[in-house]
Structure 1
Amino acid sequence: MKKIVAFLVLLCFISSTKSFAQKPNIIYILADDLGIGDVSVYNSEGKIQTPNIDQLAQNGVKFTDAHTTSAVCTPTRYGIMTGRYNWRTTLKKGVLHGYDTPLIDPKRETVASFLQKQGYKTGIVGKWHLGWNWGNIEAGEKNVDFTKQVRNSPNTNGFDYSFCIPASLDMPPYAYVENGFCTAIPKDTCIGRKGIELFRAGIIAPDFQPEEVLGKFTEKALSFINQNSKKDKPFFLYFPLAAPHTPILPIGNFVGKSNVSPYADFVLMVDDVVRQVVETLKKNGVYENTIIVFGSDNGFANPADLKAQLSKGHNPSMMYRGLKTDIFEGGHHVPFIVSWKQTIKSPKVSRQLVCTTDFFQTVAELNNQKLNDNVAEDSFSFLSEVTGKKPTFDVRKSVIHHSSDGFFAIRKDNWKLIMCSHSGGNGKPKETSEEAKTLPPIQLYDLSTDIGETQNVYAQNPEIVKELTALLTKQIQDGRSTKGKNQTNEGPSYWSQLTWLGK
C-alpha cells in the first residue's frame, strides 16, 4: 500500500512539474523615461537606432496605442504591480523618494504574488521606487540603521528574489538592497560631481558607483535567468531599469556611439541590455517559450536635454505633444512590445488600446485564473492580441490618464478629454502661467485628426464632454474600471478633474 501511495505521489509531482514546464517564462523590461520616439521601430525619422528592441517587435506584437497610468515613475510602477490606477491610493500626485514608506498595501495581491501561486519563481532586479521601511524608522532619513533588514520590501510583495535600488538613480540613499539587506552599508556623503548635475546629495554605499548601476542590474538579471532556466518551475523576472533616466551615464564603448548625444548613447546601452537578455535566454534554451514585455514608465524627460536631441533632428516624443509629467500624449504614450517566439509566428502591429495596468489581467488569463473583485481593478487582458485567439476577457475600451500634478484625462475611441486648461505638469502651459488662466477650463481633442492635440474642440462637442465626464466620474467613484463589485479608493475624496464643474 505504501508503495502505491508513493507511486501516486510521484505521478502527481511529475504531472505538476510538467504543467509548470509548459507555462511560459515571463520577463518584463521597463525602461525609465524612454520616449516612444527613442525606439527606432516606432520612429522612422529618429536618429537613434535600437536594433535589439526592434528585433523584439520582429518576433512579437508592437502596440501603437499603449499608455502608462501616469506621466511619472512611481505611479506607473504601482499600476504594473497591482493592476490598479495609482491615484486610488494616497499618492494623488508626484512620486515617492528613497526614504518614503510603502505605497502598496502589504495585504494587496500583486502580479508577483499571483504568479507565485501559479507556480512561478519570481524575481525583481532594478529600480523599485514604491517605498519600503528602512531599518528602525517609518519615514525620513535621520538615524537610519542600514544594518537592519528592510521591512515591506519587494520580497513582501511576492518576489522570491530581489536586488533593487530604492528609487531613481538620482535619489538617495545610494545603495543596493538584496533580499531586504544592503549589500554594503551607506556611510559617505555623495554631493554630486561634474557631469552629474542632477545627482541629488545624499548618503552612498562604498559598493555603489552610479555609472555601474545598469551593468550591475544586468549582471544580476542574467544570473537569475541562468539559475532558473535549469529548473522545473517557470520564472517571472520584473526588470525595471534605472536608465535612460538622469543622470545620463553612458560608459565604455557607448560613449559617443550614437553620434547624437550622451542621452542617445545611454539609450543604446538600454538596447544592449535587451540583446544580453535575449542571448541568455537562447543560450539556456528557453527563449522560444519566454514572453518578453518591453516598455517605458512614461515619456522622455526634459532634464535629459531635449534641445540637444532636437538639434540633431531627433524628437523623443515624435508627433506627440508634451513630455514626462504632462497630461498630453508625450507624457504617457509609450513604446510597448510583447515578444513570444513560440506563439507569435509573424510580426504584428496592434492598435488595441492598452495600459500598463493590463499586464496583471493578461497573465491571469494566461494562467486561466479569475481574479477576485479586490484585485487588479483597472486591468484588462491584451492576451488575444498576442495569441490571435478570441478574447475570453473584456478588452480595454477607455483609459484614464494622470499627470504629475494630479490632473486627469480620459480617452475613449478617438476622443480625449483633459480636465484642466494646462499641461498638468512641467510642460507649457503650466498651471500657474498667465496663458493657462486665459484658456478654457477643459480640453477635448479628436486624436483621429489631431494627434498633436492642437485644436481644443470642447465647445463644439458638448455631448462628448458630458459622456466622457460621466464615464470618468463613474470609474473613479466605483473604485474600479472593470466589471465587478465596487471598491474603495484611499485618501481624500477631492478630485482635481472635477474642479471645472460649475464654472
Structure 2
Amino acid sequence: MLHRSLHHAHGGWLSSRTSSLVAVLLAAASTLLAAEKPNVILVMADDLGIGDLTATNPDCKIKTPHLQKMADEGLTFSDAHTPSSVCTPTRYGLLTGRYNWRSRLAKGVLGGSSKHLIPADRPTLGHLMQSAGYHTSMIGKWHLGWDWAMEGDEIDFTKPVLNGPDINGFEQYYGHCGSLDMAPYVWVDTGKATAQPDRVEGVTRQEDRYGWYREGPISPDFEIEKVLPHLFDKTVERIQERVKEDQPFFIYLPLPAPHTPIVPVPPFRDASGLNPYADFVMQMDHHMGELFAALQEAGIDEETLVIFTSDNGCSPEANFKLLESKGHDPSGIYRGHKADIYEGGHRVPFIVRWPGKVKAGRETAALTCLTDVYTTLEDLTGQPRQTLGGEDSFSLVPVFEGRETSARKTLISHSIGGSFAIREGDWKLCLCRGSGGWSGPTEASAKKESSPRCSSTI
C-alpha cells in the first residue's frame, strides 16, 4: 500500500529508488512502538487457570471485573501457554526467553531454601531492560532460588543473601524465595532480610483445607494473610517512587496467589458464593484494579504497558469437585490442570494493555508462549537480537500492531514429571502415556495399563 501510493504520486522517479526508500519507511513504521519506551509492568499470577477469568472463559462463575476491564481496554491471547505446567520452570522460561528444560532443572520445582537457578551470565528480562535504560525491580514470589548464608544446616538470617534477583538484572528486589507455602517465611529486600524469624509456624491440611502452609521459621513482619495486599502496596510505592525520576521502569510482579495458602480476607472471604479459592481470585482481581488506579493517579497510565498472565494452570488445591458442582471449571473447556502435559496444565490467561498503542477490545488466536515476552520487550525497546537471550522467543509486537500471528509456528510443553509435548497447528504430540502430571491417568498407572503414547488435536 505504501509503495503503490508513493509511486502514483511521483511517477517513474520513484521506481529507481523504491526499494531503499520503502525499506526505510517500513522500518520506521515497525519501530513506532519501540520509540515510545513505555514503562512495563509484568504481572504473573500463581496457579490461576484459564477458566478463572471472565475474559478467557465465557462460562466463568468468578467475578473478575478489573481484569475484564483490562481485556476490554487491551488485547487478549486465547492460545497462550507457559513453557512448563509448574512454577519454577515457567519462571525460568519467562525471564530468560528459553525453554526451561535447557536449565539444570529437568523436572519438578525448587524449594524455599534452594540454591539459585539462573547464573549471573545468563541474560534475563532484567538485564534486557537495564540495557535499554530502564530501572528494574522484582516484587513478589521469586521461586528461582537464592543463596542463603548457611551455618551447618541452619540459615543465618543476619547475613546477606547472595545470588538473588540482583545478579539476574534487577536493581531492587523485595520478595519471598519460594511459594507462599514454603518456609522460610522471611522478606528479603535486595539481599537483606527485613526481620529475623522469631518463631516456627505452619498450618496443616487437616487444620485448613485451603489455607495450609508448611511449618518453618517466620519473621514478625511476615503475615501470611496480608502477603498479597502487601506486595501490591509495595508495587504502588515503587511506581510512586519511579514516576519522580526521568527514567522508564520495569517491574516484574510475580504474585503468590491464588496458590496455597488460599487466604482471602474480608470483604472477599465468602464473596464468590463458590469457595475460598474463588474468593481469593476475586481479591487478586481487586488488587489489579488498585494497580491500574495507581497508574492513573500517577499520570502514567498511557505510558505504561501492563502484561498479565499465570505461571501454569489451576491446582487441585482449588477443590475442583466442589467448583464443578457449582458450575465452574478452572481449566475452562480444556483437559487437565497444573502439573499436566494436557492443555489445562499450560494454557493460561495472557492479557496486554497499553492505551493508545495496543488496540482495545481485541482477541487473538496467535500461538504464544511466555518465553515470547523476552523478544517482545527486546523489540519494543529497539534492541538488536543477541546470540544469548531469548533463544526460544518470538516477538509479539506484530500481533500488538494488529497482525493475526507472530513468527511462532510450534510450541514445546513440559510437565512436572519431565514429559514433553510438541504442538504444531492443531496437532499436539504428547510424549507420555498419561498426563505427565497429577491428573488421571498418571504416568505410573498408564504404563501399568500399557497405554500407548498419543497424539491429539487441540
- The reply to whether TM is greater than 0.5 is yes
SS for the counterpart of 1:432 is helix
In 2, the alpha carbon distance for the partners of 1:89 and 1:51 equals: 38
User: Could you give the per-residue CA deviations for residues 65-86 of structure 1, whole angstroms, max 9, x where no partner exists?
Assistant: 0000000000111111100111
Deviation at 1:374, TM superposition (A): 2.0
Match of 1:349 in 2: 363
SS for the counterpart of 1:244 is coil
Match of 2:199 in 1: 188
- Which shifted more, 397-406 or 44-53? 44-53
Match of 1:473 in 2: none
Match of 2:425 in 1: 413
Please tell me whether the aligned partners of residues 359 and 400 of structure 2 are also in contact (alpha carbons under 8 angstroms): no
In 2, the alpha carbon distance for the partners of 1:102 and 1:135 equals: 12
Match of 2:241 in 1: 227
In 2, the alpha carbon distance for the partners of 1:170 and 1:79 equals: 22
Identity, % of aligned pairs? 44
User: Could you give the per-residue CA deviations for residues 105-153 of structure 1, whole angstroms, max 9, x where no partner exists?
Assistant: 111111111101111011111000000100246xxx8221111111011
- Which shifted more, 350-359 or 187-196? 187-196
Q: Which of 239, 243, 246 is equivalent to 2:253?
A: 239
User: Could you give the per-residue CA deviations for residues 293-346 of structure 1, whole angstroms, max 9, x where no partner exists?
Assistant: 000000010022111211211001111000100000000000100111021243
Match of 1:289 in 2: 303
Task: Report the residue type matching 2:94 in the other structure.
Answer: I
Equivalent residue runs for 1:320-469 within 5 Å: 320-388=334-402, 395-433=407-445, 435-447=446-458
Consecutive unaligned residues in structure 1, runs of 5 or more: 1-18, 448-503
In 2, the alpha carbon distance for the partners of 1:48 and 1:431 equals: 32
Equivalent residue runs for 1:106-117 within 5 Å: 106-117=120-131
Moved over 6 A (4+): none
SS for the counterpart of 1:369 is coil
Match of 1:56 in 2: 70
Match of 1:160 in 2: 171
Deviation at 1:20, TM superposition (A): 11
Task: Report the residue type matching 2:197 in the other structure.
Answer: P
Deviation at 1:256, TM superposition (A): 1.0
Distance verdict in 2 for CA 1:385–1:165, change over 3 Å: same
TM-score, structure 1 length as denominator?
0.82
Please tell me whether the aligned partners of residues 23 and 234 of structure 1 are also in contact (alpha carbons under 8 angstroms): yes
Structure 1 residue 122 and structure 2 residue 122: aligned? Answer: no
Distance verdict in 2 for CA 1:98–1:313, change over 3 Å: same
Task: Report the residue type matching 2:352 in the other structure.
Answer: V
SS for the counterpart of 2:267 is helix
Q: Which of 51, 72, 79 is equivalent to 1:65?
A: 79
Structure 1 residue 318 and structure 2 residue 332: aligned? Answer: yes
Deviation at 1:99, TM superposition (A): 0.5
Please tell me whether the aligned partners of residues 35 and 380 of structure 2 are also in contact (alpha carbons under 8 angstroms): no
Match of 1:466 in 2: none
In 2, the alpha carbon distance for the partners of 1:20 and 1:38 equals: 32
- Which shifted more, 290-299 or 223-232? 223-232
Task: Report the residue type matching 2:245 in the other structure.
Answer: K
Q: Which of 118, 122, 125 is equivalent to 1:104?
A: 118
Match of 2:285 in 1: 271
Please tell me whether the aligned partners of residues 20 and 232 of structure 1 are also in contact (alpha carbons under 8 angstroms): no
- Give the CA RMSD over aligned residues: 1.7
In 2, the alpha carbon distance for the partners of 1:386 and 1:272 equals: 26
Task: Report the residue type matching 1:155 in the other structure.
Answer: D
Please tell me whether the aligned partners of residues 20 and 233 of structure 1 are also in contact (alpha carbons under 8 angstroms): no
TM-score, structure 2 length as denominator?
0.89
SS for the counterpart of 2:302 is coil
Task: Report the residue type matching 2:215 in the other structure.
Answer: A
Query: Which structure would you say has the larger RCO, counting Cα contacts within 8 Å and 6 or more residues apart?
Result: 2
Please tell me whether the aligned partners of residues 257 and 280 of structure 2 are also in contact (alpha carbons under 8 angstroms): yes
Please tell me whether the aligned partners of residues 364 and 404 of structure 2 are also in contact (alpha carbons under 8 angstroms): no
In 1, the alpha carbon distance for the partners of 2:154 and 2:308 equals: 39
SS for the counterpart of 1:201 is strand
In 2, the alpha carbon distance for the partners of 1:280 and 1:431 equals: 46
SS for the counterpart of 2:51 is helix
Distance verdict in 2 for CA 1:169–1:255, change over 3 Å: same
- Which shifted more, 375-384 or 436-445? 436-445
In 2, the alpha carbon distance for the partners of 1:204 and 1:217 equals: 17
In 2, the alpha carbon distance for the partners of 1:292 and 1:191 equals: 35
Deviation at 1:203, TM superposition (A): 1.0
Structure 1 residue 308 and structure 2 residue 322: aligned? Answer: yes
Please tell me whether the aligned partners of residues 21 and 232 of structure 1 are also in contact (alpha carbons under 8 angstroms): no
Please tell me whether the aligned partners of residues 366 and 404 of structure 2 are also in contact (alpha carbons under 8 angstroms): no
Task: Report the residue type matching 2:254 in the other structure.
Answer: P
SS for the counterpart of 1:238 is strand
Deviation at 1:414, TM superposition (A): 0.6
Q: Which of 233, 242, 259 is equivalent to 2:273?
A: 259
In 2, the alpha carbon distance for the partners of 1:342 and 1:149 equals: 44
Equivalent residue runs for 1:194-233 within 5 Å: 194-195=207-208, 198-233=212-247
Deviation at 1:431, TM superposition (A): 1.3
- Which shifted more, 20-29 or 421-430? 20-29
Match of 2:186 in 1: 175
Distance verdict in 2 for CA 1:372–1:354, change over 3 Å: same
Please tell me whether the aligned partners of residues 97 and 171 of structure 1 are also in contact (alpha carbons under 8 angstroms): yes
Please tell me whether the aligned partners of residues 410 and 424 of structure 2 are also in contact (alpha carbons under 8 angstroms): yes
Task: Report the residue type matching 2:423 in the other structure.
Answer: R
Deviation at 1:191, TM superposition (A): 2.9
User: Could you give the per-residue CA deviations for residues 343-380 of structure 1, whole angstroms, max 9, x where no partner exists?
Assistant: 12432111100000000000111122122222211111
SS for the counterpart of 1:337 is strand
Match of 1:10 in 2: none
Aligned residues: 423
Task: Report the residue type matching 1:50 in the other structure.
Answer: T
In 1, the alpha carbon distance for the partners of 2:97 and 2:319 equals: 32
SS for the counterpart of 1:364 is helix
Please tell me whether the aligned partners of residues 211 and 260 of structure 2 are also in contact (alpha carbons under 8 angstroms): no
Task: Report the residue type matching 2:45 in the other structure.
Answer: A
Please tell me whether the aligned partners of residues 101 and 131 of structure 1 are also in contact (alpha carbons under 8 angstroms): yes
In 2, the alpha carbon distance for the partners of 1:52 and 1:314 equals: 19
Match of 2:19 in 1: none
Please tell me whether the aligned partners of residues 28 and 292 of structure 1 are also in contact (alpha carbons under 8 angstroms): yes
Task: Report the residue type matching 1:426 in the other structure.
Answer: W
